[in-house]
């Protein structure tokens, strides 16, 4: 949902100005002279690593069904955005020259969690623009020191074409509706909603109909993705167990906040059955995505960190065995997604940012 940057306790996720500089001048990735010098020696599953964005906060990049485009959210003052907006780019380009990709959100409010719709001519994303055209306020630093994410009640889910025109509003319930992703078959959407009073997973058909509740346990369930065959869901969850943790969770939720510093991964069938916890690592384990085999999951974690960072990518079997570290950055790697053909991996990282807090998008060939 929001972008964890160095997690000293930072979150910088992304009106914003609608005029866009043409991306026709974007530089082909093949001309990026830094290709593969960005890869750490231990990163044996990555090859030909290249940087796609250069500056600002860029994350949650997801592939089109034909593996030719990426849709992502970004906040970049150079692009005239004060909070997250949604952009589309060709996967074989980068924006090192300062040009910008096509904005496909309205430029109003704050947006999150975009994804391509079947046919690759439209996208789905969540936005607060109907509640307020301005960027919603960030939570103030808390006296108790808790690091929190806001759950904006104005978030609803929309579809739009690649010129930024809203096609349809898919949710119309009070409170938070966001974090929507699609099955590889293009027939189902999974999303997080507070419509029951807690943050649960729901599915719906791609036209917004046939809404079904998936999870029901107390706690934040979010960031869900379908397995390649569309039968399972992988997601992150912070499920409080003790009386004290339950009280903290409920009190924060009443303020429109969640605390994401303790999250583990779960999977279940699309109907919610066979709920299985697959990590018990501690700290924050999140941003999971299925390996193309459907038998493993790649995800971001800081479970080996003592100061909140670094975050790196790991892979684990669905039964919780075989944990393997994939990236070895000293700051932040997260939001991984495999291309539909399984040949490439896109993710967000703080590497190569010149010591700034910029989070950029990176693309690598995947090596088994």
Three-class secondary structure of residue 291 per DSSP: coil
Domain assignment present for residue 124? The answer is yes
Domain assignment present for residue 6? The answer is no
Domain assignment present for residue 14? The answer is no
Question: What Å distances lie between residue 251 and 155, 198, 255, 258, CA to CA?
Answer: 20, 12, 7, 9
The answer to whether 289 touches 265, Cβ cutoff 8 Å, is no
Domain assignment present for residue 7? The answer is no
Q: Which residue has the higher pLDDT, 6 or 272?
A: 272
Compute the mean pLDDT over every residue in the chain, rounded to the nearest whole number.
Answer: 91
**Helices and strands: H and E segment counts in the chain:** 1, 28
What integer is the mean pLDDT of 271-288?
97
Domain assignment present for residue 307? The answer is yes
- The 10s digit of each residue's pLDDT in 192-207 is 999 999 999 999 999 9
Domain count, the chain: 1
What integer is the mean pLDDT of 114-129?
98
What integer is the mean pLDDT of 338-348?
98
What integer is the mean pLDDT of 201-216?
98
Domain assignment present for residue 339? The answer is yes
Neighbours of 218 (CB within 10 A): 17
Domain assignment present for residue 109? The answer is yes
Domain assignment present for residue 219? The answer is yes
- The 10s digit of each residue's pLDDT in 151-186 is 999 999 999 999 999 999 999 999 999 999 999 999
Q: Reply yes or no: is the peptide bond before residue 295 cis, omega within 30 of 0.
A: no
What is the domain extent for residue 112? 23-366
Return the pLDDT at 34.
Answer: 54
CATH label of the domain that carries residue 212: 2.120.10.30
Q: Which helix (H) or strand (E) holds 169?
A: strand 166-169
């Amino acid at each position: 949902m929001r972008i964890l940057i160095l997690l000293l306790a930072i979150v910088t996720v992304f009106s914003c100005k609608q005029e866009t500089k043409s991306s026709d001048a974007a530089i082909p990735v093949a001309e990026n002279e830094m290709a593969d010098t960005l890869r750490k020696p231990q990163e044996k599953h990555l090859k030909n690593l290249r940087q796609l964005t250069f500056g600002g906060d860029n994350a949650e990049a997801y592939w089109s069904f034909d593996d030719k485009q990426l849709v992502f959210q970004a906040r970049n003052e150079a692009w005239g955005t004060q909070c997250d907006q949604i952009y589309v780019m060709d996967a074989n380009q980068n924006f090192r020259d300062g040009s910008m990709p096509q904005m496909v959100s309205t430029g109003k409010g704050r947006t999150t969690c975009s994804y391509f719709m079947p046919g690759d001519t439209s996208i789905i994303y969540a936005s607060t623009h109907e509640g307020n055209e301005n960027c919603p306020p960030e939570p103030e630093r808390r006296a108790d020191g808790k690091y929190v994410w806001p759950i904006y009640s104005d978030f609803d889910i929309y579809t739009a074409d690649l010129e930024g025109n809203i096609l349809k509003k898919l949710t119309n319930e009070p409170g938070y509706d966001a974090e929507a992703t699609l099955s590889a078959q293009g027939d189902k959407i999974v999303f997080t909603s507070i419509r029951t009073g807690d943050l649960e997973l729901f599915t719906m058909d791609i036209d917004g109909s046939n809404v079904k509740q998936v999870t029901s346990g107390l706690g934040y369930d979010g960031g869900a993705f379908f397995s390649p065959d569309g039968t399972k869901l992988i997601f992150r969850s912070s499920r409080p167990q003790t009386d004290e943790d339950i009280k903290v969770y409920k009190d924060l939720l009443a303020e429109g906040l969640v605390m994401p510093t303790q999250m583990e991964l779960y999977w279940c069938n699309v109907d919610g059955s066979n709920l299985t916890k697959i990590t018990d690592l501690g700290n924050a384990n999140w941003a999971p995505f299925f390996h193309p085999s459907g038998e493993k999951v790649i995800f971001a974690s800081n479970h080996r960190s003592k100061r909140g960072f670094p975050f790196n990518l790991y892979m684990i079997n669905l039964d919780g065995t075989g944990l393997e570290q994939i990236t070895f950055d000293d700051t932040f790697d997260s939001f991984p997604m495999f291309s539909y053909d399984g040949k490439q991996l896109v993710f967000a990282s703080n590497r190569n940012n010149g010591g700034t807090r910029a989070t950029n998008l990176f693309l690598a060939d995947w090596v088994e």
